[in-house]
Amino acid sequence: MPAKKHHWLLKIFLIIVVCANFLGVRSAHADGETPTEPPAPTQIATEPPTEPPAESTPEPVEATPEPVEVTATPLAELLVEAPENTEVIVLDENGDSVPLASQEATDITEATDPMWCPEGVLPGGSGCTTNFASVTDLINDMLINTATYTQNGVIYFTANPGSGILDLSPTTLTSDYDTLKNYNLTLQGGWDGTTGSPSLSGQTNFGTNPITVGSSANPWVGNISLINIRFSGVSSGDNAITVYTDTGDITLNNVDVQSQSGGGNAAMLDTNSGHILVENGSTFQSAIVVNRGNGFRANSDTGSITISGASGANITFNNFRAPGAPFYNGATLSAPTVSLSYVTASGNDGNGFFISGASMVTLNNVTSGPDVDTQGNGRSGVLINGTGSTIAQVIGGTFADNGRYGIEISGGSLFVYGSPTCPTAGATANSLGCYNVTPSIDSTGPVITPNVSGTAGSNGWYTSDVSVSWSVTDAESGILSSTGCTATDLTSDTNGTTLFCSATNHAGLSNPASVTIKIDKAAPALSLPSDITVQASGPTVVNYSASATDNFDPSASATCSPSSGSTFALGTTTVNCLTGDAAGNTASGSFQVTVADTTVIVTPTPPTPPSTGSTSGTSTSDSSNSQPNASPPIIPVTGGKVIDLDCNSALQAFGIKLSFMNLCDYQTTLDSIGLSDLPGALPDGYSFVMGLNLSILSENQAIEELPNGTSIQLDFPMSGGSKDEFAVLYWNDGEWVEVPQQVSDDQGFYQVLTTDNTGIFVLVKK
């Protein structure tokens, strides 16, 4: 027996035949069947798409009682209560009896619905509710146990959804509505009622009971989807489907509305910013009565409307007719983007499709015209009320037997491709012709733009992984096909990878595009020497080799400071190196150069001061300023701190020897001076070798002039060359003054004597 007989479109009868009391017959009904009861009070029908007018202040009434959870009596208890000699018969949906011992009978008697489950969970899975005997029971539970439903969910229905109206609007859900509306909800029909390995096929027939979600004043926020659901005979002005959302998408998948009557819409779908999708063979059709149903309506303020059938399985909008003016359209659609593919509208007394507010309309294999009874639409097959810049693309299809045009457009341009069927003569010709405007011609190919995402370096290189996607558009005729336009991720270094994309529009025009990506994520590799140590008696020239190599840039090199060939002072100097490549990657490193002092410390013989004059270079000495016979030992110092002096002291700092005469109880500070530390530029013709800042302190206070009878001898080491090639300059009141040389027997030093000033002295090369 086909699987569909198990539960969809199922009417279950348990017939209990009582062999007593005049052979009276009782029937046991399975879940989903409602026993005959006395007529209920007439329910006042409401029209979901129309908001009720503001009400006047009502008279005080009794408070509405809280919903009461209803528990269905289990089938086993019903059978226990049956009289003796009762015969139980299980019938399938065709009225045929099913053996009680069969699995089919078990499945039929166990079929219950509806059941709510978390999104992605099948019936009976973790988090699912119990199965309810009716829609009313489910809604009551949503009000009582609201916290259970505060997540994205699915409501599963068997072939018969049970009694009650599925109304998920603020009116029914009251204060809980604002909590529940934030979640996605799917209404899934076609459940076979089992929980072990449930099947979701066929459709659930809601019959004349409409479905309402949200309201125009307070729309649902999450996505709403209807799947495998059918309506038949909805009337009295009700819409079969009414859905209002704010940002949520609306989807109808395999949804059929049959025999709609009474002026209500087959569907009223409205979203502020979501998208609307109708797919998978859905059909919308009016009853053949005087006051037929209104057509299908969908609106998205900022989203899109897509109605997509398949070849041989068009989505249909047929036979909607008003009892008088105004006329009913098959489908009335409003959104910035409207796309119809394999859809049909026929037998409507208005337009087959009325489209407004769209900047882009695509009609792909649309049929708007004669149905099996060769009956077209009373007005145009498609009427497009454009925005002034609307572009409508027509690709194939049939537009015939319409009361006005096959396609009528205002406020836009019409592009026609694929040779649609649009007769201009004969029984199926459109009354006013195929089109009300002359179709435009697309003379340009698609526009293809690569979108490259990555960290841009220099010279067109990228220094990170790169993602490439393509924008392929054709505003006039749309894209027919494309090749190589899929997104690509490049993760390996490359000196040039070229990607290609080509596309063809419906006018047969093609365009190719390409983009070349260069990726270098690695910086050049520095090759630096190990730390260098040289022996010298003073500052010396040091040469070294530093280089860099790069995967793609052969010109990569190392730049170091101080550079190779520079003069390095005594002590340790850090050399910093930097390299970069064409892509903008950089690397740095360093090493140290140490110039070890090899000077042999000797006791200098203080020179005899000049007998005449008192200048920076010479001084006159009297008998009280005679030099002692014994020379003091030379003490190495590092400088940068206060040093106490004896009457006669000898120090060595930075390779320079200093002899202090008659400076009893004074102090000195010594600091090395580099070229960048000079207070002014050297005179032309001089190059810097080394320098010293010399201060004399008395009771820790610096003095500018030496006391009478005192002097300081400075011995600057010479590295190659004769004394004639060197000179000592002194910074004196904003200018450099050469200090005359003091004759010395030590040919390795340039000696000067100062009897007046302290300050900055530099050894220069002429």
pLDDT at 620 over 90: no
pLDDT at 69 over 50: no
Summarize pLDDT for 78-97 with one digit per residue, the tens. 454 555 555 656 554 445 66
DSSP 428: T
Q: Taking the domain 525-597, which CATH number applies?
A: 2.60.40.10
Predicted local confidence at residue 244, as pLDDT: 99
Q: Helix or strand or coil: residue 139? A: helix
Q: Which candidate, 265, 212, 203, 213, places its Cα nearest to that of 234?
A: 265
The values of phi and psi at residue 614, to 5°, are -140, 95
Cite the beta strand spans of 152-210 per DSSP E. 153-156, 166-168, 185-188, 204-205
Summarize pLDDT for 547-576 with one digit per residue, the tens. 999 999 999 999 999 999 999 998 999 999
DSSP 280: S
Residues 6+ apart with CB under 8 A from 117: 123, 125, 127, 128, 129, 153, 154, 156
DSSP 524: P
CB atoms within 10 A of CB 612: 8
Predicted local confidence at residue 22, as pLDDT: 35
Which amino acid is present at 493? D
Summarize pLDDT for 234-259 with one digit per residue, the tens. 998 899 999 999 999 999 999 999 99
- Average model confidence (pLDDT) across the chain: 83
pLDDT band with cut points at 50, 70 and 90 for residue 724: confident
- Beta strand pairing status for 185-188 and 211-213? unpaired
pLDDT at 13 over 50: no
- Going from N- to C-terminal start, the domains of the chain cover 1-34+69-202, 206-440, 447-519, 525-597, 630-765
Instruction: Select, from the ranges 59-68, 240-249, 476-485, the one with the highest average predicted confidence (pLDDT).
Output: 240-249
Are 572 and 531 contacting, i.e. CB atoms less than 8 angstroms apart?
no
Q: Which residue has the higher pLDDT, 465 or 22?
A: 465
pLDDT at 722 over 90: no
Residues 6+ apart with CB under 8 A from 362: 338, 339, 340, 341, 392, 393, 395, 478
Residues 6+ apart with CB under 8 A from 458: 582, 583, 584
pLDDT at 52 over 90: no
Q: Give the rounded distance of the alpha carbon of 172 from its chain centre.
A: 38
Which secondary structure element, helix H or strand E, spans residue 276, and what is its range?
strand 276-279
Mean predicted confidence (pLDDT) in 626-646: 73
Instruction: Select, from the ranges 504-513, 579-588, 614-623, the one with the highest average predicted confidence (pLDDT).
Output: 579-588
pTM over 0.85: no
Residues 6+ apart with CB under 8 A from 30: 12, 13, 14, 75, 108, 109, 111
Q: Give the rounded distance of the alpha carbon of 143 from its chain centre.
A: 37
Q: Which residue has the higher pLDDT, 753 or 512?
A: 512
> What class, spelled out in words, does domain 630-765 have in CATH?
mainly beta
Are 758 and 695 contacting, i.e. CB atoms less than 8 angstroms apart?
yes
CA atoms of 506 and 444, how far apart (whole Å): 11
Using CA of residue 80, residue 83, residue 89, residue 94, what is the dihedral sign?
negative
The first and second tokens of residue 241, run together, are: 């489907």
Are 212 and 48 contacting, i.e. CB atoms less than 8 angstroms apart?
yes
User: How far is the CA of 399 from the CAs of 87, 423, 439, 501, in angstroms?
Assistant: 60, 8, 15, 35
Torsion angle defined by CA atoms of residues 347, 401, 307 and 303, in that order, rounded to the nearest 10 degrees: -100
Q: Which residue has the higher pLDDT, 71 or 418?
A: 418
Mean pLDDT lowest among 57-66, 110-119, 292-301, 389-398: 57-66
Residue 208 sits at the vertex; the CA angle it makes with 204 and 212, to the nearest 5 degrees, is 80
